[in-house]
Structure 1
């Protein structure tokens, strides 16, 4: 039997959005009738009641109490309500595909209904046709998603960027807790910001500094980029869109620039790529998952290294403008079906759905040494007095017989803290170790650095980062036995550059920890 008094003492979690149940009088009683709680019912999620009385807000396990009064919900016909708001890229394709996959796995049928303003909802139906849950989608922008969550008009934010400091402050003031905590956000899929042009445009590559100058209006003619003598037409998603804000934060702000006044904005990414595809003098920023018939430009530097966006380079973060797709959650208990759905999106079945929907999944891939051709070529070209041939030979000998995992780790600018995608990778690798996926294997955490400073110092920094990531994975994987898998650390400093060291973004790409498995 559930201990009723213990349930009262554990009443610390808020769990349900205000649209589920309006406050009404109820009396909750223990099975023996010895204890009664009377107050206003603030919420019910199918498992737990949230009641406000003279002692404050209490959360009680529904299996340990009986409910009487006009506010008591029907336990048999309870329908969970979940509202998602934010990025249109997530709610146009990705989240509906995941809901369909979740429903199929759990024996539900689905029904999609239109709502006013272009919004829609998915209803999960039990076998007999009774609704079990409704997922309502408010199609807007990342900005609007956080606004709706703070106003308690949404349960989950769909975001193409991390929460900003001002939004975090408002969330705290609204009683939503620390939205930057690992438990408050999920990376549901991976994507990237990519510059695109018409297939008729002869330009094939661009540097990030030049890209910043183009979208700030400093470069106005294609001739400056090796193209025709024609004005550049600029195209971007809506100002409040996470993609636009991510580009502003990571490309323009890094160069101290602002968007040009000549930008043309689009509410839908599909409209942007259609426009760019038909205009030989247009350039746009879109997501890797939504390029249509446009052609992506490779990113390059003065040293000649090129980085192209593809599934593998996005997974490994070798491509510098990766853009994880987030779900942000309030510090309150969501309905069980919502919690089950959030658990599902992290599982292997969801990764297949994500990939089929055109996005980049997070399932680890193994990359053979034979597939490292471009990277090894770059290493040979960049070799010099500080990285002699012997060091490259040591690298090849050490990693011979190993395969690189697509699970990599990079760090926030000017910090030793892993970035958002890498923090998610730490959790995923820890879970894989706990489940025994790498039992009997050797995992080697290999540190690399940029080329700034003395090579011997960079070697030490790279080794320190490799040890730090390994230790973080181990501390996260609480149940793993070190006897089941061998975890090693190694470092090669600046010996295997991914990008040119003459820019901040290039140096950041080069500072990384890779995982190799044998």
Structure 2
């Protein structure tokens, strides 16, 4: 079975080391990433972001603040808007002009509505755009394209309980029955007697959409009418942490005072929502956080925010706000007898990188995240001096009737990644296909099969 990767070290840097790192990171960006942006001629906002509460509550304002700082603005303030879950981020230019970014965080679906009616420049979403939304927004261009879909962070849905609850792990099929109301007493799960109280995000929430897709719909269930619904992530988490009978689901930064469970899906072992398991998207309830824009984006401030979010400084802000940055890290994985022999050898002698390559649905083409991860991986290999004979690619797939076919397909996936990296001068130590070994998700649904069809990267 796959093993949890150890959390990366959080040893503090010295102030000098931090400034050196930031200076080096800035040098990796093209010069135009820091070009001065046009100032507004009036008091209208330069950028409007609408959508996900998960992103909009803290991360989007923090990224907007970082962009204003990068542009040299002063007296930067983050203020509440006229209604709950709205904020304005403003700063003063050198000539005294006010520059304002507006963030409205009422749920992922509202972001796509705002793109459609022109009231937003960027849609923040904590789930992928739906086919119906792609069709509704077709006049703006293909919002599934690499130019329109921006993966800015990785998050994990945490299943949270009161800290005194003795239960430590559940399977996704058990979760589905709990939130459908079929399992309604903690004793049915091995806990103490008591009615289970359900806490869930509202219908506009991308967090709810993700939970519905990965847990409820995947197991043929629907949310019980008895569940209490919330627009605010913080409010939901705080109420669960105060209710000994409560259970809820929440984005990773909002665990707060609650207790998070380890989760298993299909044949995978139970995994905690740890930083490294979410970074590789192995954790069963991991998810991507998105900004969506028109492919032919005209607003220079929107373009700049997208670039800033992908930059090393932007990804540092992602991490500071409790999400998982897409920075490549090398981690040691303890070998286990449950691992295939080739994988055991890697675990003994090499380190696994915190990036997995996955593919577009029904395609051998790398998905939008993987295309950007190629650039991140190449930067890492160049900086670490590991371009020649230091890299091993390990392909995995979903179960097939013929194990030999599953192994072949998994190796072909690894070869697809090899092809793109070899063009940039990477010479590989080995390419391995392990078929349907070490699943991280159930294979009886499209979402699980997509997660299992992956390529890991190991370095010596």
Same fold? TM cut 0.5: yes
Q: Give per-residue Cα distances to partners, 1:419-457, cap 9 Å, x unaligned.
A: 8xx531332323552794465423322112345534322
Question: Which residue number in structure 2 is paired with residue 424 of structure 1?
Answer: 369
Please state how far the C-alpha of 1:242 moved relative to its aligned partner.
0.5
Shift of 1:201: 1.1
- 1:214 pairs, out of 178, 200, 204, with 178
Is 1:372 aligned to 2:326, yes or no? no
- Matched residue, 1:490: 431
Cα pair distance change 1:77/1:117, threshold 3 Å: closer
**Aligned residues of 1:158 and 1:326 also touching (Cα < 8 A):** yes
Radius of gyration: which is bigger?
A: 1
- Please name the residue that 1:294 is paired with: 258
2-structure distance, mates of 1:501, 1:138: 36
Q: What is the SS of the residue equivalent to 2:310?
A: coil
RMSD: 2.9
Q: After the TM superposition, which of the residue ranges 500-509 and 117-126 deviates more from structure 2?
A: 500-509
Unaligned runs of 5+ in 2: 1-35
* Counterparts of 2:316 and 2:106, CA distance in 1: 26
Q: Deviations over 1:169-222 (max 9, x none)?
A: 1101xx211111110011111101121110111111110111111111221111
Greater RCO structure (CA 8 Å; 6+ sep): 2
Aligned residue runs from structure 1 range 78-477, under 5 A: 81-109=46-74, 110-118=76-84, 119-131=86-98, 133-172=99-138, 175-300=139-264, 305-368=269-332, 371-373=333-335, 376-379=336-339, 392=341, 394-397=342-345, 401-411=349-359, 415-416=362-363, 423-430=368-375, 432-433=377-378, 436-437=382-383, 440-441=386-387, 442-472=390-420
Does the 8 Å CA contact 2:198/2:227 hold for their aligned counterparts? Answer: yes
Q: Secondary structure at the match of 2:194?
A: coil
Counterpart in the other structure of 1:40: none
- Unmatched tracts of structure 1, length 5 or more: 1-44, 48-73, 380-390, 475-479
Match of 1:512 among 451, 454, 458: 454
Task: Kindly state the Cα deviation for residue 229 of structure 1 after the two structures are TM-superposed.
Answer: 2.1
Q: SS of 1:195's equivalent? A: strand
> Offset at 1:401?
3.9
The verdict on how the C-alpha distance between 1:215 and 1:141 changes in structure 2, with shifts beyond 3 A counting, is: same
Q: Show CA shifts across 1:461-485 (max 9, x none).
A: 21011112333556xxxxx642xx3
Post-superposition shift, 1:161?
A: 0.7
**Distance change (3 Å), C-alpha of 1:225 and 1:301:** farther
- Mapped contact 1:426–1:473 kept (Cα < 8 A): no
Q: Could you tell me whether the CA contact under 8 Å between 1:463 and 1:489 is conserved in 2?
A: no
Contact 1:450–1:497 (Cα < 8 Å) also in 2: no
Change in CA separation of 1:230 and 1:508 when aligned onto 2, cut-off 3 Å: farther
Report if the CA contact (8 A) 1:455-1:493 is conserved. Answer: no
Report if aligned partners of 2:346, 2:458 keep a CA contact under 8 Å in 1: no
Q: Is the 8 A contact 1:452 1:501 kept in 2?
A: no
Q: How many aligned positions are there?
A: 419
Label 1:461 to 1:294 Cα distance change in 2 as closer, same or farther (>3 A): same
Question: Residue 278 of structure 2 contacts residue 324 of structure 2 at CA under 8 Å; is this kept in 1?
Answer: yes
Distance 1:400 1:377, change over 3 A: closer
